[in-house]
Amino acid sequence: MSRKETPRAGLLKAAVAGQLRNAQVAQALAVSERHVQRLKQRYRAEGPAGLRHRSRGRPSGRGVGPDVRRRAAQLLQTMYRDLNDCHATEKLCEVDGLALSRATVQRLRRTLGLPAKHRRRARQYRARRTPAAQRGALVQVDASPFAWLEGRGPAMTLHGAIDDATGTVLALHFRPTEDLHGYTTLLWQLATTYGLPVALYGDRLNVFVRNDRHWSIPEQLQGEREPTHFGRMLRALGIGFIAAGSPQAKGRIERLWRTLQDRLTAELRLRDIRTLEAATAFLPAFLADFNRRFTRPPADTTAAWRPAPRELRAELSCRYHRIVGRDHTVRVGARVVQVLPRGAGRSLAGCCVEVRECLDGRLLVLHAGHPIAVQPSPDPAFVLKPRRAANAGRAPRRRAGTSSADESGRSLTSAEHARRAARAAMASSGKTGRRSSRPAPSHPWRHAAPLSRRARQRTLTPARGATFSLSS
């Protein structure tokens, strides 16, 4: 008997004995009095076994017939063996005319011992995260590649930042692709409009965190990896970064993209915007109206924003370490910066300097933390791109009496610098600088002793570490 039918035996036994009325039993079992009379007749005739449901053990009237089941089993084992449950259900209905549900096909495949096409992972446990209480305490950043212009213009990616405490959309910026320039521009808008947040919350994109498995020797010695170019900017500004483990962890900005893909796309269509520049110019007006509708008050009215530093443009930059050449120039990619001499005409050749490529395209050269050269942007449409891995630009340590250091931090002497400069000059001229394997005519090897003399010398010369005894 089922769990529902088990208490019926005691109630009907008391009803048959006259201890309970039919109305009381009907109220306890949530059935009619007429049905209680039928149950009493079954109990008198068959006992407790007569209270079981009459349909138990009978085949279902809506069940699949044996012929259909046999035909479906044959197809699932042969023609549709490599299809998943949903795909196999569609093919059985469209091609073979077998109208089966997906659950029926799944049970039939399990009965036949056929493994699942794709192994499903168990749902992970996710605890609800309490939103930040203060404005500026946590800002979620992300980018959404989408057909924002619906085919009227180029493909664009929208970079955005939203406040975790209030749901205020802090900044939006269109870019052709998701890149470092877009997130740096986003950070510039945040710092100039509101201030510096306490922490940013984003995904594990290689712009934010290192995704490669390579650890350099200095990183292994210090026990931590060097940050990316964007991570260096955050560290210089005192902003923390939290890498989300899943899209659900930063669900606030993920839900924002769904809303913007509906509302912002419609607004751009109503205004017949077709270019990236026009869409970017429309974003401030859209943000003001959007935040007026959807912003909610924070739990704590005290804001956590911090004022941006005056040298914000210099902090939002990619940083490299270079050695000043003998002609007092510093090269970053194809750009060359002329370095002026220090006081009293002292030379900076061979010194290690820091070069910052700013968001606006300027190149700043700093020595001991002080700027010594500036180069303006080469192009108004400059795009900030990392020129090489951030960990390769570690500042080499300079010792007393040495001119500079190599990439691993080892100090270089002037002779080593001369050899490196010679090799670089030969490589630029097309020469390899490799000496010939054949000695010159004046080489001592050309005037070696005869073989007989060399043989006598080998017999008389003791081996390394051997000793002679006077008794011998």
- φ, ψ for residue 145 (rounded to 5)? -75, 120
CB 228 within 8 A of CB 243: no
- d(Cα 190, Cα 290) in Å, to the nearest integer? 17
pLDDT (mean) for 103-124 = 84
pLDDT band at 195 (very low <50, low <70, confident <90, very high): very high
What is the predicted pLDDT for the residue at 450?
54
3-state secondary structure of 308: coil
pLDDT band at 275 (very low <50, low <70, confident <90, very high): very high
What is the predicted pLDDT for the residue at 7?
80
**Residues facing 202 on adjacent strands:** 243
pLDDT tens digits, 134-168:
999 999 999 999 999 999 999 999 999 999 999 99
pLDDT (mean) for 183-208 = 95
pLDDT tens digits, 8-18:
888 888 888 88
Question: Nearest-CA neighbor of 329 among 321, 320, 339?
Answer: 339
pLDDT tens digits, 418-431:
566 556 555 555 55
Percent share of the chain, pLDDT over 90: 50
pLDDT tens digits, 45-73:
888 888 888 888 787 777 888 899 899 99
DSSP 108-139: HHHHTTPPPSSPPPPPPP-PPPPPPSSTTS-E
- From 45-59, 96-110, 328-342, 444-458, the region with the lowest mean pLDDT: 444-458
The beta strand positions in 194-289, using DSSP E, are 199-202, 240-243
- From 13-27, 130-144, 190-204, the region with the lowest mean pLDDT: 13-27
Name 235's Cβ contacts closer than 8 Å, sequence gap at least 6: 227
In this predicted structure, the answer to whether residue 411 has a pLDDT above a threshold of 50 is no
Percent share of the chain, pLDDT over 70: 82
pLDDT band at 406 (very low <50, low <70, confident <90, very high): very low
pLDDT band at 409 (very low <50, low <70, confident <90, very high): very low
Of the two residues 282 and 63, the one the predictor is more confident about is 282
Mean pLDDT for the chain? 83
Contacts within 8 Å (CB) and 24+ apart, 389-397:
390/226, 390/227, 390/228, 390/229, 390/231, 390/232, 391/210, 391/216, 391/219, 391/225, 391/226, 393/319, 393/320, 393/321, 394/218, 394/226, 394/321, 395/321, 395/352, 395/354, 396/321, 396/352
User: What's the helix, strand, coil split of the chain in %, to 5?
Assistant: 40, 15, 45
pTM of this prediction? Answer: 0.64
What is the predicted pLDDT for the residue at 426?
56
Of the two residues 335 and 125, the one the predictor is more confident about is 335
Of the two residues 242 and 48, the one the predictor is more confident about is 242
- d(Cα 403, Cα 417) in Å, to the nearest integer? 9
What is the predicted pLDDT for the residue at 252?
92
- Highest mean pLDDT of the ranges 15-19, 191-195, 379-383: 191-195
Name 219's Cβ contacts closer than 8 Å, sequence gap at least 6: 225, 226, 391
3-state secondary structure of 164: coil
3-state secondary structure of 172: strand
In this predicted structure, the answer to whether residue 376 has a pLDDT above a threshold of 90 is yes
**Phi-psi category of 168—alpha, beta or left, where left has phi over 0 and alpha has psi -120 to 50?**
beta
Residue 291, exposed/middle/buried by CB under 10 A (0-12, 13-18, 19+)? Answer: middle
